[in-house]
């Protein structure tokens, strides 16, 4: 009886490259799944990307080691079938029809570009992209009073027609420095907790004033005829300048779309008398000549909205 020959494992270099490629692919597979199901993590994305570059190099070495059998594959009929299939899938995933978007909607990773804030010496830029077809960019040019070393506290948020907070886009590090945003946000949190206790959060979703906790009902309505205007507000305050914060705002109406809009100064916040139920009230008041450096924190604030077809 003849003994079965052991399979040829190849040289140490071939075995090492094959094993490294397989293990690198395992890391790519795990991090790819994690990146899809979890919220955005720069650690996971960074690991996935860097291991991807390593995998490309290993595949290059693998092709070099197996160039002769791979060359025979290029002369087979299977080449054209695989090329067509790869091209078709590439176009399908790039085009992203409704079924593909539905699958992508299962992802917990909204990406870092959903909300992004950048600050340079003389300009602050905030990007908010709730959809590939709806991109907002707020560009705030610093004024003469702006200080690089001690930048002011800043909050950006959205309100519905009833002046109720619906989403904070940029929260301040020191909430106490921005009392108007703090008041609005606290009211929203209280209302949401109350709705959760009653089990009404999921049920309340309609583009009616004060009627929804879902900002998509205002920002991305399914039908322009159902769209209601909403507002973007910005509150800014420089610490230790002995002046209150200032609030700038602009109204956005998807039924009457405008690409470029300037934020207007709405006033400064001041707490009023409590209402009949003992709840706090805050109002915005006219900015008079007593204000000086606070008015110089912002030179201009421009909102740009790109809407898809």
The winner for highest mean pLDDT among 2-11, 43-52, 210-219 is 43-52
pLDDT of amino acid 26: 94
Both tokens assigned to 43: 């650690």
Residues whose CB falls within 8 Å of the CB of residue 259, separated by 6 or more in sequence, listed in order: 304, 305, 306
Average pLDDT of the chain, as a whole number: 82
* Residue scoring higher pLDDT (291 or 210): 291
Q: Is the full-model pTM beyond 0.85? A: no
> How much is the average pLDDT of 114-141?
81
- Is the distance from CB of 18 to CB of 62 less than 8 angstroms? yes
The tens digit of pLDDT for each residue in 223-232 reads 556 677 889 9
Is the pLDDT at 80 greater than 80? The verdict is yes
Per-residue pLDDT tens for 7-32?
A: 555 678 888 888 899 999 999 999 98
Count Cβ atoms below 10 Å from residue 169 Cβ, excluding itself. 20
Query: Which range among 45-59, 184-198, 206-220 has the greatest average pLDDT?
Result: 45-59
User: Lowest mean pLDDT: which of 19-28, 53-62, 63-72, 285-294?
Assistant: 63-72
Residues 20, 22, 27: CA angle, nearest 5 degrees = 90
272: confidence class by pLDDT, cuts 50, 70, 90: confident
- Residue 213 pLDDT > 70: no
Q: Return the domain boundaries, the chain.
A: 12-104, 115-307
pLDDT band at 207 (very low <50, low <70, confident <90, very high): very low
Q: Report whether pLDDT(107) > 90.
A: no
Cβ neighbourhood burial of 64 (10 Å; 0-12, 13-18, 19+): exposed
- The percentage of residues in the chain with a pLDDT greater than 70, rounded to a whole number, is 83
Q: Is the pLDDT of residue 113 over 60?
A: no
- For residue 100, give both structure tokens: 């593909």
The span from the CA of 133 to the CA of 121, in Å, is 30
- Write the CB contacts of 150 (distance below 8 Å, at least 6 apart in sequence): 238, 239
Cα Dmax for the chain: 107
- Report pLDDT for 123: 86
Backbone region of residue 129 per phi and psi (left: phi > 0; alpha: psi in -120 to 50; beta: other values): beta
Whether 202 contacts 193, CB under 8 Å? no
Mean pLDDT throughout 247-263? Answer: 91
Residue 219 in this model has a pLDDT that exceeds 80: no
């Amino acid at each position: 009886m003849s003994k079965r020959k052991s399979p040829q494992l190849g040289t140490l270099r071939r075995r090492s490259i094959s094993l490294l490629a397989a293990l690198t692919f395992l890391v790519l597979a795990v991090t790819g799944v994690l990146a899809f199901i979890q919220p955005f993590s720069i650690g996971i994305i960074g690991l996935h990307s860097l291991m991807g570059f390593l995998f490309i190099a290993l595949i290059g070495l693998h092709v070099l080691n197996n160039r002769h059998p791979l060359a025979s594959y290029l002369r087979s009929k299977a080449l054209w079938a695989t090329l067509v299939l790869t091209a078709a899938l590439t176009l399908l995933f790039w085009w992203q029809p409704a079924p593909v978007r539905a699958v992508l909607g299962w992802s917990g990773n909204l990406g870092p570009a959903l909300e992004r804030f950048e600050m340079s010496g003389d300009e602050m830029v905030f990007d908010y992209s709730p959809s590939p077809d709806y991109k907002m960019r707020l560009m705030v040019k610093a004024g003469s009073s702006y200080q690089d070393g001690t930048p002011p506290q800043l909050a950006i948020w959205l309100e519905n027609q009833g002046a109720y907070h619906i989403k904070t886009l940029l929260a301040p590090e020191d909430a106490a420095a921005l009392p108007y945003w703090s008041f609005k946000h606290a009211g929203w949190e209280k209302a949401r907790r109350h709705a959760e206790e009653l089990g009404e959060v999921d049920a309340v979703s309609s583009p009616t004033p004060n009627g929804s906790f879902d900002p998509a009902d205002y920002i991305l309505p399914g039908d322009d005829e159902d769209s209601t205007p909403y507002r973007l507000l910005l509150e800014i305050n420089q610490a230790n300048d002995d002046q209150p914060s200032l609030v700038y705002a602009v109204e956005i109406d998807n039924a009457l779309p405008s690409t470029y809009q300037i934020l207007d100064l709405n006033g400064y916040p001041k707490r009023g008398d409590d209402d009949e139920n003992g709840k706090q009230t805050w109002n915005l008041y006219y900015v008079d000549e007593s204000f000086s450096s606070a008015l110089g924190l912002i030179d201009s604030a421009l909102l740009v909205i790109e809407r898809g077809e």
